[in-house]
Amino acid sequence: MDFISIVLTADRSLMSNYSNNIYIGFLSCIPHNICPDILYNRFCPPVPVNSDGTTSYPILALRTVESICNHAGFKDVKIAHPDCLNKVINFKTKIVGVSCEDPLGIGPATTSWSSIFHGIPHNRIKFLQLMKNIRQLKEIFDFKVVLGGPGCWQFNEDKMKILGIDYLLPGEGERSIPPFFQSLFERDFPSQLIQPDSPTPNAEEILPILGPTNSNFIEISRGCGRGCKFCAPTTSGQMRNFPIDKIVTDAKMYLKYGIKNIVLQSEDSLRYGSLNKDFSIDIDIILNLFSTLFSLGMKSIAITHASLINFAEQPEDIIKFTRFLRKNGMRYYGCQPGIETGSPRLMKKYMKGKCYPHSPEEWHEIVIDALKLMKENHWYPACTLIMGLPDEENYDTQLTLELIQKIDDFPALYIPLFFVPMSMTSLREREKFISEKMTALQWKLLLSCWKHNLKYILKLYNLETAPKKSIQILVKILTSALNFIIRHKGPKMINRKFYENKRAIIVK
């Protein structure tokens, strides 16, 4: 198959190292009118490009697909830099595989911003630009465009046609990609444009990656098993822990590139390897994983998501783990847990697994205990909240607001996200939440979160990235501007909404 090739790529909003701070990736969800290109490019520069138009630092999803293709015997696989597709795509190219996360800018994080500020988000702009370039090349070179990744739910056949996408390949690719790509090579084109979700691979089927990624990710598990109804099935489904040999192979690969700061990607990082039925952490397995990685030569090992319940339930284990990290030279630690709501009613309805084995009524206490322990041990989390869950009443919002007020003194970020009924979830038929539907109380909640965040954002940013003085000043100016907007516009937004609500009640 020397005469055919597969080209993999993703849009520019994904292909960045985000100034070595994965939280800065959230800028891609912000509309262009409040984060102009000059600012966006400063904080989210493109990944480096090689002279042949490829990049050695793509997103993890592309490295995963590259590895699947390689293992399946497709040898000529290139990962193209989105700005240099014309250097990589040629008459040999038979498949262009595009990975996407929130391509149309309609996912929860993006909707929260674009709904309030009414602009086009960077992720949408960059994705549409990429697809325009691909369509132009497709007219010259006869290849098929296959779209995969967690953002597949945003497309139907009409949108695919407009954007020049031939096939949609949702779900995990380990089992579906090899036979599907083979059929395209043999010109046995499947008639179904949207392929069914492929069977879920076992943990042992996940392969090591063949090169580094933009944010030094190593995937250690998939799924979390807690089953929240608003979450994608791949994410909420049973947790699959990858063999330590696969993780060690990935780590050795990074070390070969001189990379000693890695990020372990998981939906519930500290539960890696645990077989405990009550969803608790197995501290021995975690210590073994981290000590193996440190002994290989890693200097810093960050994690992505973690659960507040594990912090609240196993304080001794967390303290032991934190001491271990400190002994290995790490001074502070971050993670992304979900608070989501302060309402036991909504928790019971949509996410009772989040506080398991405790009851939703205990959630406030769990969150407070977890954040207190984090503060004492130098953990700095970025916690998400979901606003506008179906059937949310003022009473539920009030409880969430009360929870946020109780945890206002903790050095954490509280990120309110708008509910989006993603098509692969059981809430797909429910209504999307947008700023026009916000009540005065929901405005108050949102502004309380951001007022809180502005107290800590600079400190957390400086901890995470240790930036140059000029960047520190720039971030300070930006946070002050945001602070000004919230202080001056916030009360007006809340009051306006209050009077609108009142008028609506009178008219009724």
User: How far is C-alpha 470 from the chain's CA centre?
Assistant: 28
Binding mask 117-156 for ligand SF4 (x = CB under 6 A): ----------------------------------------
Contact residue for ligand SF4 among 12, 63, 78, 226 (CB under 6 A): 226
288-299 exposure pattern, b = at least 16 Cβ within 10 A, e = fewer: ebbeebbeeebe
Report in angstroms how near the CB of residue 428 gets to ligand SF4 at its nearest: 16
Q: How far is the CB of 351 from ligand SF4 (least distance, A)?
A: 6
Choose between 66 and 340: whose C-beta lies nearer to ligand SF4.
340
β pairing state of 379-387 and 413-418 = parallel
Q: How far is the CB of 29 from ligand SF4 (least distance, A)?
A: 17
Q: Should residue 427 be labelled a site residue for ligand SF4 when binding is judged by CB under 6 A?
A: no
Asked if 236 is part of the footprint of ligand SF4 (rule: CB under 6 A), the reply reads yes
C-alpha 235/C-alpha 164 separation (Å) is 28
Out of 145, 228, 298, 370, point to the residue binding ligand SF4 (CB under 6 A): 228
Residue closer to ligand SF4 by CB (options 219, 267) is 267
Q: How far apart are alpha carbons 372 and 208 in whole angstroms?
A: 37
* Residue 353 Cβ vs ligand SF4, minimum distance, rounded to whole Å: 6
- Kindly state the smallest distance separating residue 406's Cβ from ligand SF4, in Å: 21
- Regarding 108 and contact with ligand SF4 (CB under 6 A), the answer is no
Nearest to ligand SF4 of 100, 224 (CB atom): 224
The DSSP secondary structure of 104-124, one letter per residue, reads TS-SHHHHHHHHHH---BHHH
Would you tell me how many other CB atoms lie within 10 Å of the CB of residue 6? Answer: 27
Q: C-beta of 306: minimal distance to ligand SF4 in Å?
A: 10
Q: Are the C-beta atoms of residues 208 and 186 closer than 8 Å to each other?
A: no
Residue found by looking up tokens 């720039």 in the block: 474
Total binding residues toward ligand SF4, as defined by CB under 6 A: 11
Window contacting ligand SF4 (CB under 6 A); options: 123-131, 191-199, 222-230, 311-319? 222-230
Q: Figure out which of the listed residues 70, 129, 200, 235 binds ligand SF4, where binding follows CB under 6 A.
A: 235
Q: Does 231 bind ligand SF4 (CB under 6 A)?
A: yes
Give the range of 46-54, 161-169, 220-228, 308-316 binding ligand SF4 by CB under 6 A.
220-228
**Nearest CA-CA partner of 68 in 77, 81, 57, 59:** 77
For the CB of residue 489, give the shortest distance to ligand SF4 in the complex, in Å.
Answer: 31
Structure tokens at 316: 């001794």
Tokens 């930036």 -> residue: 467
Closest distance of CB 340 from ligand SF4, Å: 7
Task: State the nearest-atom distance from the C-beta of 114 to ligand SF4, in Å.
Answer: 22
Residue 272 DSSP class: T
Pick 97 or 151: Cβ nearer ligand SF4: 151
Q: Which is nearer to ligand SF4, 121 or 150 (CB)?
A: 150
Q: Which of 224, 251, 281, 486 binds ligand SF4 (CB under 6 A)?
A: 224
**Residue closer to ligand SF4, measured from CB, 146 or 339:** 339
CB of 229 to ligand SF4, least distance (A): 9
Structural tokens at position 173:
């690719």
Q: Is 100 in the site for ligand SF4 (CB under 6 A)?
A: no
- Enumerate residues 327-366 that contact ligand SF4 by CB under 6 A: 338, 351, 354
Nearer to ligand SF4, 378 or 430 (CB): 430
Query: Considering the complex, what minimum distance in angstroms separates the CB of residue 227 from ligand SF4?
Result: 6
Helix (H) or strand (E) holding 493: helix 469-507
Q: What is the 3-state secondary structure (H, E, C) of 356-423?
A: CCCCHHHHHHHHHHHHHHHHHCCEEEEEEEEECCCCCCHHHHHHHHHHHHHCCCCCCEEEEEECCCCC
Number of DSSP helices (H) and strands (E) in the chain, helices first? 17, 14
Give the start-end residues of each E strand in 64-154: 77-79, 93-99, 144-148
- In the complex, the smallest distance separating the C-beta of residue 154 from ligand SF4, rounded to whole angstroms, is 18
Q: Which CB sits closer to ligand SF4, 12 or 222?
A: 222
Residues 242-301 that bind ligand SF4 (CB under 6 A): 267
Tell me the Ramachandran region of residue 356: left when phi exceeds 0, alpha when psi lies from -120 to 50, beta otherwise.
Answer: beta
CA-angle at 283, arms to 277 and 287, nearest 5°: 140
Q: What are phi and psi of 379, to 5 degrees?
A: -100, 135
Pairing relationship of beta strands 261-265 and 5-10 according to DSSP bridges: unpaired
Residue number with CB closer to ligand SF4 (202 or 238)? 238
Which residues of this protein are in contact with ligand SF4, per CB under 6 A? 224, 226-228, 231, 235-236, 267, 338, 351, 354
